[in-house]
């Protein structure tokens, strides 16, 4: 009887382990293919493997000197997609630091580093 009880408990807990370890994992972001250009507003799209509770999440622009600026974000058209509005930036190195809550309540923190380049408007022949 004790072995049967232990077997039932093992089955129950193994089924719950996937729920316990779930976190919002970033699956893609637009900075990979769409750069931010100097002195122009931009946007960054982040895609996660689960729905994000934006009201409980924070996304910061990190500037030189570890200066943090809270950014505005909104839900994208797809589940788990966030669109972050980027203010005009000088050329240089920056980061997006985010703390997001998945719909299941788990917190995920991460940093994405990126560079802003000057857009050369002159054509060279």
Which portions of the chain are predicted below pLDDT 70?
1-22, 119-125
Number of structural domains found in the chain: 1
Query: For residue 8, what is the enclosing H or E element?
Result: helix 2-20
Residue 6 counted as domain residue: no
> Which structural domain range is residue 52 located in?
23-117
Q: What is the predicted pLDDT for the residue at 77?
A: 95
Residue 84 counted as domain residue: yes
CATH assignment of the domain containing 50: 2.60.40.1220
Residue 125 counted as domain residue: no
Residue 8 counted as domain residue: no
Q: What is the predicted pLDDT for the residue at 86?
A: 97
Residue 36 counted as domain residue: yes
Map tokens 């000088």 to a residue.
Answer: 90
Residue 15 counted as domain residue: no
The pTM assigned to this predicted structure is 0.74
Q: What is the predicted pLDDT for the residue at 3?
A: 55
What's the CA gap between 27 and 80, in Å, rounded?
A: 9
* DSSP conformation class of 78: S
Residue 39 counted as domain residue: yes
Residue 38 counted as domain residue: yes
Helices then strands, counting H and E runs in the chain, come out as 1, 9
């Amino acid at each position: 009887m004790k072995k049967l009880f232990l077997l039932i408990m093992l089955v129950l807990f193994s089924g719950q382990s996937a729920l316990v370890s779930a976190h919002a994992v970033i699956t893609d972001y637009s900075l990979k293919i769409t750069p931010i250009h100097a002195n122009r507003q931009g946007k960054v799209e982040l895609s996660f493997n689960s729905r994000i509770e934006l009201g409980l999440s924070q996304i910061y622009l990190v500037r030189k000197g570890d200066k943090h600026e809270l950014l505005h974000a909104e839900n994208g058209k797809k589940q788990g997609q966030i669109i972050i509005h980027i203010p005009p930036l000088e050329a240089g190195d920056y980061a997006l630091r985010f703390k997001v809550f998945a719909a299941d309540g788990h917190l995920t923190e991460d940093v994405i580093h990126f560079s802003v380049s000057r857009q050369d408007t002159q054509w060279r022949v």
